[in-house]
Structure 1
């Protein structure tokens, strides 16, 4: 056995002893097996923790670490194999190259792990935010997640650059010098970012609200860094820059708890005062007895002698702000008013004109 090992150490291939080639192959084999074992261990550990703990944060951490750790085991195994092989540096500086690449790849793997962790935490806290009464956290969680990802990418790029031999201090200094030019070029983008922060802090609306401005009307779908996405009722998507949106007059339709109904009913001029009084009292009774009508405030008044009608003014609110339920209340009230006026033998007026012809006597 010793003779065989001596033979392997003295026999070379590409000026590398066969013993090193053998150790390198064994290291790569152990790396592949170890990678599979690490994956299996993570899955078993995740199942056990899921049964023992009530929180999902440990599941988020394990899911985020599973694939990056598996890849890191492979990188470490390859580095060990390269060091075991250790070819002559004057022929092929593989060890130095592997060390440099390994450091860069390790930074990328670490950044990938943090990225996956931020994704998992964002999804977890988004679900938790839906359980709270406040809508601020519903918008704040995605905003913080995006900010952390941007910071992560910038940090990873700087670390990779430093490991590749670039001067970070010089790079930061050049960024400081060019910062003014960049700020001038990206002033609109910066204004939009600050606009998004103001929207999140002031909360003039939240995702899902129906809002109305002079240039658009629709439902808020997303508040991003640069713009806010609004789905119009024609199903088109409007992207409004946050800097502009922060300075607009916004009418938040969904901020109300009831919906107004304002209308007029015109009766013919053949209606008597007694009938008019009965009609008004009958309409008031309909509104007071309807479960879908808000009872806090309502008006039913004979307010105008119009050109072709005696006008009754109705002003009340539906108890629900949901559009379909609001329309249902309005329809039911209108039908009951029609039945009331029909039972009183009153007629709705419509625009009409009466022409009187005066006929003079025969000319003598």
Structure 2
């Protein structure tokens, strides 16, 4: 076969030269888009290090979302516009180009959304520790809505009856919702946590018998790092039903403790004890004394109830202060001859066998 006969070979009423031209157009456009992507992601990024610009950052982030194989699907459609193709073949190229085009637009839109959400998160995280949780939930919801709209628009451009499709999905959607009600429950619970903010990442909480620092709030579970170091995972639905104590938001810490003295303590000494306790507590920094009372007569001791407030809610500061109060009480009672009541011990002696 000579060159003339080879070039005159036809496929779908198009010569080999026509196919070469169509393929060449597609490849050239694809290479042009690739070069533009490289110029933005490489050259503009290098320029942006010296002259920082938010618009340049957004453009670079969007350009990195460009997928060459999706661009190729669209450029092949452009190249086939110069060919005479059967209706079925044209339909195939049209469907491929439509799908590739909508997917690429979706990736670009997701890039723009992620860029601005991440930028907002970095700024807001300095003042609000819960912003990471809010952004994660908003990002997921936004992606779900965006891709749902893109798919519906894509199907509409492909000639699918969207109204009939949505009506048909209504019945099956109910069945899916019933099957996935636990997952949906956790999702709505996550949104409830994000909106109400009973806790945010970094808060120290107790939930039933568990305690630890909030480490991650997801769409289905929340993870807590306990004081022992292990990670505890809770379902979001369980958290919305549980009683949660958030110590991070404690403005002041109320402390109540009880101690007893022996019955050998004289009445005049008993009368001085509340004043002694008040002086000891007021001498400690970051404290507010509330009361100290001779509260009751126990079988083996005369008991006092003491209440004071720590203006600094930190647990370590509270323990340091309580230790200082205990030591000061020991010294003051030793100087005045007051004895703490010993712990009562009950011994049961079994009678000897007869």
- Mapped partners of 1:331, 1:195: distance in 2: 42
Aligned to 1:358: none
- Do residues 11 (structure 1) and 3 (structure 2) align? no
Aligned to 1:238: 233
One of 314, 320, 328 as aligned partner of 1:328: 320
- Where do residues 1-364 of structure 1 align in structure 2 (5 Å cutoff)? 11-12=7-8, 16-18=15-17, 20-21=19-20, 24-25=23-24, 28=27, 31-32=30-31, 34-46=33-45, 48=47, 56=54, 58-68=56-66, 73-82=71-80, 86=83, 89=85, 96-132=91-127, 137=131, 139-162=133-156, 166-214=160-208, 216-234=210-228, 235-242=230-237, 244-292=238-286, 294-295=287-288, 297-352=289-344
Contact kept in structure 2, 1:268 and 1:348, CA below 8 Å? yes
Gaps of 5+ in 2: 348-354
Q: How far 1:288 moved relative to its partner? A: 0.7
Cα 1:197/1:35, change in 2 over 3 Å: closer
Contact kept in structure 2, 1:279 and 1:340, CA below 8 Å? no
- Mapped partners of 2:344, 2:217: distance in 1: 53
Contact kept in structure 2, 1:32 and 1:74, CA below 8 Å? no
Between Structure 1 and Structure 2, how many residues are aligned? Answer: 341
Deviations along 1:32-83, one digit per CA (max 9) or x if unpaired, are 36513432234434555665566x4651343133331766654444444555
Contact kept in structure 1, 2:130 and 2:199, CA below 8 Å? no
Deviations along 1:78-128, one digit per CA (max 9) or x if unpaired, are 4445556x4x746x9765533321221111111122223333222212122
Q: How far 1:147 moved relative to its partner? A: 0.5
Please report the TM-score for the alignment, with normalisation by the length of structure 2: 0.77
Contact kept in structure 1, 2:27 and 2:75, CA below 8 Å? yes
The two structures, once aligned, show a CA RMSD in angstroms of 3.8
Contact kept in structure 2, 1:217 and 1:232, CA below 8 Å? yes
Please report the TM-score for the alignment, with normalisation by the length of structure 1: 0.75
Cα 1:37/1:69, change in 2 over 3 Å: same
